[in-house]
Amino acid sequence: MRNLLQKCFKWQWLVCIAVGCCFASCKDDEESTSGYDPNKPIVLTDFYPNEGKLATQVILNGSNFGNSKENVKVFFNDKEASVISVKDDRMLVLAPKRASTVEDPECVVKVQVQEQMGEYNQTFNYYIQTTVTTLVGGSTSAQVNPTGTIPLSEAQFRANIDRCICVDKDKNVFFLVDNDGKFAAFMLNEEADKLISLKSDINAMFNSPILGYNSKEGIVYQFWANRDSHDVNYFDPKTDYAPTTAISSVSWDDSNFPNIEGFGVWAAKCNFTMGPDGKMYSRMLGGNLVRIDVENARGENLTNGDLVGTKDGSAYGLVFDPQDENVFYFSNNDKHCIYKYDLRTKEWACWAGQEGKSGYLDGPIGQAMFNKPGQMCVDSEGNIILTDTENHCIRKITMSTGYVSTLAGKPQNSGYVNGSAEDAQFKKPLGICIDNDDVMYIGDSENRAIRRLAVE
């Protein structure tokens, strides 16, 4: 028995040694077939083409790249490119988005293979382009709204997307669609290719919901348009975006709101935006500017019954001046202009467009013309971007020059076309928001679509 055990142990040791040799051999084979030699420098000779736009295929020539994509990284300036294939003396990559700027289109191309890094002597000339695509929707024949979680390409909507929209720090876009007398709230994510129905039965009798993003807490609030509805709900990523009640009522410091006749009381508020103080601001139909501290359930009537702008008109666009936290801009769709309000002095004036005159004209802010300006947002350079709803286009106000230009769409010509900024068409766009990469999302109302506008 003892001899038998000794023989068994002997054979077990022999098997272990054999397996170890096998693994060592496999590892050596793996290193030898990878092609990369860490004891030799990587050599970068040239690449072609030396110019192009986003996703241009570029062949990089050199040596000692190896044969494994996992070991290689390629950068155009500081933007990492997608590596498609690698051989020891060449590789195929795709030019990344936003690799350069309009002012400086040249890119330094760098290659990293494991611990080694090098850069080419020549540069890549990157073409900046502005393009419009559709993320979700686009058909006007759907009879029902989507439910559950589905791919973006499968989703269509039963009604227009004619309310303000918002985007969070994770690039989730939130929007509302009429759902047969009620409202449905949706969230989409482009990277995950998902549309999620958050809530399909938001009761909207004599009312309608409004979304507003709290950038400090990372949650989306759901307010109400009715002047006298003051409860607030929210969608929080920490609770998997389940609808939750934030406050059941707001206690107002001064409720001296102007009298709104007829049905206007049901749609007195059209949008909320967060101020630098972390509170939510809105301009109500009737001319009042209000501020709500959701955390403490307190509201303030900042204008105490005085008009800000005019009594008529809805303010879908609300933004703060990125250079002055006391200056507030809001659009007025009935007056076809944008007003400026100073919280310190309580002074206001028509700032952009021609008050009471609809039309289309690019130019200095005092001469430019809009036709029912909608929601507004601010890009990373401090410029204001807005929807020009009845002109069917997207406008830009360059703050440093005070000039209004057309960013995308064919002014005064509605349609549904993706492509370059000049070729793209919209049909009464109203909602717009912008993420931290300056990608814009547009609620293209009568095309029932969420469109994507990016300078890349």
**Cα angle vertex 161, ends 407, 365, to 5°?**
30
Percent of the chain with pLDDT over 70: 89
What count of other Cβ atoms lies within 10 Å of the Cβ of residue 260? 18
DSSP H or E segment with residue 447: none
Residue the block writes with tokens 């303030």: 300
- DSSP letter for 248, please: S
CB contact set of 424 (below 8 Å; sequence gap of 6+): 131, 132, 408, 409, 410, 417, 418, 451, 453
End-to-end CA distance of the chain, in Å? 77
Percent of the chain with pLDDT over 90: 72
| Complete domains list, the chain, with CATH | 43-126 (2.60.40.10), 130-455 (2.120.10.30)
Handedness of CA 337, 343, 344, 345 (dihedral sign): positive
Residue the block writes with tokens 């969230």: 187
Q: Do 145 and 69 contact (CB within 8 A), yes or no?
A: no
Q: Do 118 and 44 contact (CB within 8 A), yes or no?
A: yes
pTM for this predicted structure: 0.81
Give the model confidence (pLDDT) of 6-46 as tens digits: 443 344 444 344 434 443 444 444 444 568 999 999 999 99
Give the model confidence (pLDDT) of 413-443 as tens digits: 999 999 999 999 999 999 999 999 999 999 9
DSSP H or E segment with residue 1: none
Closest by CA position to 283, among listed 340, 229, 203:
340
375: alpha, beta or left, given left = phi > 0 and alpha = psi -120 to 50?
Answer: beta
Identity of the highest mean pLDDT range in 15-19, 297-301, 305-309, 329-333 = 329-333
Closest by CA position to 282, among listed 236, 315, 238:
315
* Residue 357's pLDDT band (cuts 50, 70, 90): very high
Handedness of CA 55, 103, 48, 70 (dihedral sign): negative
> Could you give the CA distance from residue 417 to residue 421 in angstroms, rounded to a whole number?
10
Average pLDDT, the chain: 89
Residue the block writes with tokens 């944008």: 338
- Which DSSP string corresponds to 154-211? G---SS---S--EE-TT-EEEEEEEETTEEEEEEEETTTTEEEEEEEEEE-TT--EEE
